[in-house]
Chains A and B, each alone.
Chain A
């Protein structure tokens, strides 16, 4: 049927067709991926939405009035429409207040102090409960909260390493351009002074009672705890 010289060319044609169709078949079978999509069409919409409890309940649980709760919620919802703050967002929000330095470590410790149930996200109720303690609570409650903040591993004791981490995080927020210049051992000395004052029995760890006792002896601390009384 075919002329003499046609056979080789037709063979070539046949092989090309076979190879291309097998590639296409493999593509359909999913073994190879001929499409070069960088964007997978699985735009995940993880809309984990959380609604807080009712206004009345929150008012009963905390020391805020309804108005104050409304104001707090509006600000909260503005930053986190989904109703949950995760650590990243928290760090970003906090970093805006301290443009000079790096607030991420302190924000990390703060976040874990806020997130009492260790779920990894802070709900509005957690947020408001902590604020209620910090702004409207008794001195005892405030000190307790602070102790909880310093106690990074939540074992009930503050040791020197935990205090070092906290103090270092605070110093990080200052940034580089300070007067006088921050030296390497400034945080360490700061921690040493702290322990001298707080650690009554000199055993290297500060318990809650030692902490409460030492803070209550110090007038400056007592006075400064009242500082943010009328933040709202």
Chain B
């Protein structure tokens, strides 16, 4: 119910007293007013700005967020108000909707932000009032066009391997840049369209004389040659049309489209001419059908973006053009009539009838002024000058509208092209930011270990030296940590990965380790064999690869210098010079790696489990273990 009507309901009900004496049967019972609440003011706090309204105002529309019990989810017990973490500007419009029953769309607001807010409050955009609905729809259409452009170009760039032959053909037709074959086809059809048009033009040029007859146009002199050319072009066009028809995803829609009609109209005259050559009477009329061959020039609109823009502009300015035409026609008729009657008196005047005067009027109003018809009487000259002045005015009026339309559409196209060009750069930047977040995890792992190393060293003031991560970040990192534990693999960054693979490819060669060489560029398939108990060499890199082992959360760190290792479960720490071996404390152990610094003397720890003694100095061991804890319930 609209806002106003609800307020008048008590009045209407009271006025029903007037029916009581007249009624024959007893009246039904009135609905009881359960939990009759006093109408109370409720406070809506939207990002700090407080709005107040009556509860009943909001309850007018019970299928929205504010009108239903859904708002209880946003009730703040402490301050006894409803808190929404949304835009207060748009909320103003939303609340006005409850108050007045009309939803307005503010012009300065971004269309998608506004849509999001409406979706949040559960309000359908359809109920935007008439005053603002046009604007809303226009902006929405613009936005949708932009999104469609983006999606189109996205789809074009994706490689879709599973396209059927028909679909590839259609894509080739629509976007000639997808494959060389499509490009060839595109240029060939363009060439033949040009040939066909030029043929039509040259056909009519007078081409020298055959002795004994008058000058002939080229078409008749070399009629066979021209006929062959025409046949060839029409063949190509027919084949192209049939191929497009075959490849179109929706044949029905394709047949109904403009380009298909142009194609058909372009080749029809030829076939009709073929059929009609026998019948002499009718053929004369159908020769004039040849004029339709000029439609072939419109086939160029597939090849030229500018032509399409022009066509679209004219179509969108159809009403302005119509107005121009109509007003011109009115003016022509008026002035032609006047001129006719003015010049009626003069002898040998060319203004023989009103239609004859049309020509004069048109030529004068468009300021052409051929001079084949001129008024001779004074009245005629006066009216003639008025005619030319008004002609200038009438034509000048709708032209700026058409021009502005063209400019808008043209710039839209420019913007679309520019956006497509910028898209790649934008996506690259977004990707960089994304890798930043994944690097944050690796970074925090190192920092976390550093923190614990310092903790154990017993320097309380340096405990908090590490970068403080927010609670959310640390929880996220914990989640990733759990995933690592589940799969027994560890996240590392790209460079480490490639280094590892290069290094492990080197381990197949008996030559000594040379960490800096990369004689085998690229990754080999024998990367980092997980099961092997061979020793692998890791370079003394500055990039740490941490290994977390403990079953409990941040447990103690096993720091090794050159002293005896302690037997607690440990974590290999980075920047420490010595290598360390790790002793699994529990049955389920994980992969261990460690960074070895090559120059240091082997300070290996004797390990309990079966680990091969390292043969060469400064190796480290890499013993994966198979048993792992599989069941990890992770909430979301």
Contact = CB atoms under 8 A, between A and B. Distances in A.
A218 to B, nearest CB: 8
Contacts of B125: 45
B15 interface: no
A221 B631 contact: yes
B628 A177 contact: no
Nearest to B253: A33
A182 interface: yes
B124 A45 contact: yes
A28 interface: no
A105 interface: no
Interface residues of B, number: 85
B633 A225 contact: yes
Contacts of B475: 231
Given A99-B438, A225-B633, A178 B288 contact: no
B626 A179 contact: no
A179 B437 contact: no
A210 to B, nearest CB: 13
B626 A193 contact: yes
A51 B120 CA distance: 11
B107 interface: no
A148 B72 CA distance: 33
A166 to B, nearest CB: 10
B4 to A, nearest CB: 26
B288 A8 contact: yes
B68 A179 contact: no
Given A36-B315, A81-B119, A180 B489 contact: yes
Residue among A35, A142, A145, A228 with the most chain B CB within 10 A?
Answer: A228
B289 interface: yes
Nearest to B527: A181
Contact of B479 (A69, A97, A218): A97
Contact of B633 (A38, A67, A142, A167): A142
B595 to A, nearest CB: 12
Contacts, number: 187
Interface string A76-88: 0100011000000
B148 A39 contact: yes
Contacts of B634: 228
A176 B88 CA distance: 45
B223 interface: no
Given A55-B73, A98-B480, A174-B491, A81 B116 contact: yes
A100 B489 contact: no
A73 B119 contact: no
Contact of A170 (B292, B486, B622): B486
A16 interface: yes
Interface string B600-636: 0000000000000000000000101011111111111
B39 interface: no
B635 A224 contact: no
Contacts of B315: 35-36
Interface in B421-462: 434-435, 437-438
Nearest to A93: B636
Majority SS at the chain B contact face: helix
Interface in A142-192: 142, 145-146, 167, 170-171, 173-183, 186, 189-190
Interface in B107-122: 116, 119-120, 122
B476 A135 contact: no
B291 interface: yes
Classify chain A: how many residues form its interface, as a range: 35 or more
A3 interface: no
B497 A177 contact: yes
Interface in A124-139: 131, 134-135
A179 B257 contact: no
A38 B148 contact: yes
A134 B284 CA distance: 87
Interface stretch (B138-146, B395-403, B508-516, B555-563): B138-146
Contact of A134 (B588, B628, B635): B635
B69 interface: yes
B629 A220 contact: yes
Contacts of B145: 38-39
Nearest to B495: A177
Nearest to B440: A99
A140 interface: no
A180 B591 CA distance: 8
A54 B120 contact: no
Nearest to B480: A98
Interface string A1-18: 000000010011001100
A170 B480 CA distance: 12
Nearest to A173: B483
B551 interface: yes
A190 B438 contact: no
A180 B73 CA distance: 47
Contacts of B484: 174
Contact of B493 (A19, A45, A177): A177
Contact of B285 (A11, A19, A77, A110): A11
Contacts of B120: 77, 81
8 contacts: A16-B291, A33-B256, A77-B73, A171-B489, A180-B500, A180-B624, A189-B626, A194-B630
Which 6 interchain pairs have the tightest Cβ spacing?
A81-B119, A12-B288, A178-B489, A73-B73, A33-B256, A180-B528
Given A36-B311, A43-B141, A224-B633, 9 more contacts: A16-B291, A43-B140, A174-B483, A178-B492, A178-B497, A179-B593, A180-B529, A186-B530, A189-B626
